[in-house]
Structure 1
Amino acid sequence: MLGTVAVLRTCPVRVGGQLDESQAYFHRLFWTFPPCIEAFCHCKPLVSIDGTHLYGKYGGTLLVAIAQDGNSNILPVAFALVEGENAESWSFFLSHLRQHVTPQPGLLVISDRHNGIKAALEALDGGWLPPAAYRAFCIRHVVANFALTFKGKDARRLLVNAAYAKTEVEFDY
C-alpha cells in the first residue's frame, strides 16, 4: 500500500566468531498503514499498547498500539515484530509510534506495568514524558493483579466500578 511505513532492522551474521557483512538476519520490524495514521487524528488522545508472545517456528513478540474513536470502537494503529518484551524493543516500537503515528502532545498511554515499557516511556529522549505524554495502567491488568491477593468477586467488582467512574459521585458510590 502506498505510504505504508515499514522500518526493518537486521543484524549481521557471525560465522566462526567473525562478522559476515554479506549476510544479515531479521531483528525487528515496525509497520503502520496510511489509513491508520489518518484515522488516529480523529480518535481520542490515547493509545493502548501491549505485546503478545508468538509461538511456533519463529517465536518472538508482536507489539501492538490501538486507539479508540469517539464511539469507543477499537482501531489498531501500529505493529512491531521484535525478539521479546524488553526495554530496547519497546523503545524501538515507541520511538517509531511517536514519529509516524502519534506526534501530538498530551497523549495518554495505557499499558500494563512491564518494566520494558516503563524504561522506554521514561527515557529522556523518547518523547513520552509529561507534558508530551502521560501514562495510565490498564484496569484489566490491575484487576488481575488485585484478584491474586483479594479473592472475593465483590472486591473486584468495586475496584472495576471505581476505575470506570466518570464522576466523584460514581466513584464514591
Structure 2
Amino acid sequence: MRTTSSTRTRARPASSRRTGSINTGSGPAKRTAAPRPPRGLTGRATVLIVVFVALALAYTYPLRVYLAQESQIAQLEAEQAEQRRAIADTSEELQKWKDPEYLRAQAREKLFYVRPGETPLLVLNDPAGAAREAGKNAPAAAPDRWYETLWSSVRAADAESPN
C-alpha cells in the first residue's frame, strides 16, 4: 500500500493542514493570537466568593457564643478552685481546734487562762502611771500650734497698747 502525499493531507483535519504557501523568506510569519480568558471575576468565582462570605457570616455568631461559654467555664472553674482552697483551709483550722494543746494555748493567749498553781502576770501599757510610779512627771505637753502662738502674741500686744 502506497500512500501519496494527497492521502496524507486528506487524513489531517482542516485546521492542522499546511497551506501551500510556505514562508519563503519574504518576511516573518504572521502570528495569530490565542483567545484569552476574560479578565476580572467570572460568574463562578463571584458565586464562590458569595458562598464563602455567607458561610463566614453564618459561623460568626456560634463561634462568638462558643468563646463566651469557654471563658465562663474557665471563670467558674477558677471560682470552684478558690472555694476548694477555702474549704481545705477551714478544715485544717478545724483540725487544729480539735487538738487539746492548741485549744489550751489559744485559751491562755486570748482569754488569759492560767493553770492551777501559776501566777498570772498581766502587763498594761500605761506610760502616765508608770511615770508617776517612777517619780517622774508625765510627758511634756505638745507645743502650741504656730497660729495659736501668733494669736496669743497679737492679744498680748493689744493688751499692752495704751489706747
Which structure is higher in RCO with an 8 Å CA cutoff and minimum separation 6?
Answer: 1
TM interval, shorter chain, is under 0.3
Q: Compare the two structures and name the one with the higher helix fraction.
A: 2
Higher strand share: 1
Instruction: Determine which structure has more spread, i.e. the larger CA radius of gyration.
Output: 2
